[in-house]
Structure 1
Amino acid sequence: MRARQVQITTDDDQACSPQSLLRLQSWLSPTFPNGAYSYSHGIEWAVDAGCVVDRKSLVDWLEADLRYGSCRNEVIFFSEAYRCALEEDPTGLARIAELAAAFRGTSEFALEASQQAAACLGTLRQVWPDRILDVFSETRIPPVLAVVLGARSARERIPLRLALPAFLHAYVANLVTAGVRLIPLGQTDGQLAIAELEHVVLSECAQDRCTALDDLGSAGLMVEFASIAHETQYTRLFRS
């Protein structure tokens, strides 16, 4: 089931307009109304349990998720959705969407993925409509944010080498913000954490050319355990 690899050419780079980049910034901005700020991806439990107590442990936790956990799968889903949209393959995109929805390890991760994606879709349809979004209306499968934004980025002709790191950076920045609120950390420590994770983000994105659907999988068990434990955590600020 290995997907075909599409080379992003110089023509794609030239076709990427400043307006398209502005749109990508809007979609990944903390002000975009998808409710990302209300999810911690299990970090709330990790802080409560003493697994994450400072900037170093927060960076270690997120690096493990990026390299070995569920976030690694999001990179693959984003890339494959991008390629399907670029090739105008709605059937393939629907298959990617279904697979991405099934790859939620816990009920909270399923909620986190589907609610953010549904909110994202609603805003995109109103503000930046595009026919590729119809694919997600034709299935009863809950959408996944990485798939929605991957496909929509391709329609804007934003090169994958730019869109994917931007998506992953926004993912990291949102979780670092959760850590800043929970540990708590100062704003400068938060920015230092994001800076320390830059090389990990770029490293994972660089592996995109060598990965496909056959490479899906996760060894980030602690992230999954944290999410399961968070479901019954006594006091909670976040939904995951």
Structure 2
Amino acid sequence: MSPTFPVGAYSYSHGIEWAVEAGDVDSRDSLIDWLDADLRYGSSRNEAIFFSQAYRHTVDDNPAALVEVAQLAAASRGTSEFALESAQQAGACLATLRKTWPDPALDFLSSMEISLTPAVVLGVRSATEEIPIDLALPAFLHSYIANLVSAGVRLIPLGQTDGQFAVSELELSVLSLSAQASDASLDEIGSAGFNVELASIRHETQYTRLFRS
């Protein structure tokens, strides 16, 4: 979950670069609103459910159900850039974990012919480490949000203190989503975060870009 863990997350903005270009995100408050909406209604909500499901099926030793979660998580990527962002980070995360903290569950993930997602990889690893989900899931969402706030700090731009204010303001949303997602089923997957998806699509052809998504 650490920003120093070598997965390349710093090179992705998850569509925020286009949102800044379009003027949808131009301040600390609008960055908070954008990320809060994604947490409550968009792809972040789905990621929390995928994490929870991967965690649960690892604890229950249900590999067939875990494969189903991994397949659905991979299929939920709404744009080509989101697919790249997810697959690259998940692949780097899994490779590093297998080298430094090897575990049979990680070997099983590696054997899947599926483009994995960070939520699935980290959900499985948190379960094998017996980290309680009420700690692991908020930590996962916090790292996700903190990385995107960092992108916003560079793009808008904002000062570092404003960035920390933004993370602080999103804390309750992170905790609320974690509580909801920890008991959610795959039937509750869905997104109304249309602007995030559109921002990603438009970022693909953005003329000047600092980020890969």
- DSSP 3-state at the match of 1:78: helix
> What is the match of residue 67 of structure 1?
40
Contact 2:52/2:182 (8 A) holds in 1: no
Q: Secondary structure at the match of 1:88?
A: coil
Structure 1 residues 209 and 30: CA distance shift in structure 2, 3 A: closer
> 1:44-67 CA deviation, whole Å, 9 max, x = no partner?
000001000000000000000000
Q: Aligned to 1:48, which of 7, 18, 21?
A: 21
C-alpha contact (below 8 Å) 2:41/2:193 kept by paired residues: yes
- What is the CA-CA distance between 1:138 and the residue it aligns to? 2.1
Q: Aligned match of 1:142 in 85, 91, 115?
A: 115
Q: Which amino acid aligns with 1:224?
A: E
Deviation for aligned residue 1:91: 1.6
Q: Which secondary structure state, in structure 2, belongs to the residue aligned with residue 105 of structure 1?
A: coil
**8 Å Cα contact 2:74/2:117 also seen in 1:** yes
**Size of the alignment, in residue pairs?**
213
Deviation per CA, 1:184-206, whole angstroms, max 9, x where unpaired?
Answer: 00000000000000000011111
Which of 82, 87, 101 is equivalent to 2:55? Answer: 82
Aligned to 2:170: 197
In the alignment, structure 1 segments of 5+ residues that lack a partner are: 1-27
In angstroms, what is the RMSD of aligned CA positions?
A: 0.8
- Structure 2 distance, partners of 1:90, 1:195, is 37
Corresponding position of 1:7: none
User: In the alignment, does 2:192 pair up with 1:219?
Assistant: yes
Query: Moved runs in structure 1, 4+ residues, more than 6 A?
Result: none
1:209 CA drift (Å): 4.4
Q: Which of the two has higher C-alpha Rg?
A: 1
Residues 1:109 and 2:90 aligned together: no
Is the 1:67–1:204 Cα contact (8 Å) retained in structure 2?
Answer: yes
**SS state at 2:119 partner:** helix
Which residue of the partner structure matches residue 6 of structure 2? 33
Q: Which residue type is aligned with residue 166 of structure 1?
A: A
Please list the CA deviations of residues 152-193 of structure 1 after superposition, one character each: whole Å capped at 9, or x if unmatched.
000010000000000000000000000000000000000000
TM-score normalised by length of structure 2: 0.98
Equivalent residues of 1:94, 1:135 under 8 A apart: no
User: CA shift at 1:137, angstroms?
Assistant: 2.2
Amino acid at match of 2:27: D
Q: For structure 2, which runs of at least 5 residues remain unmatched after alignment?
A: none
Amino acid corresponding to residue 78 of structure 1 in structure 2: F
Identity %: 68
CA distance in 1, matches of 2:118, 2:155: 24
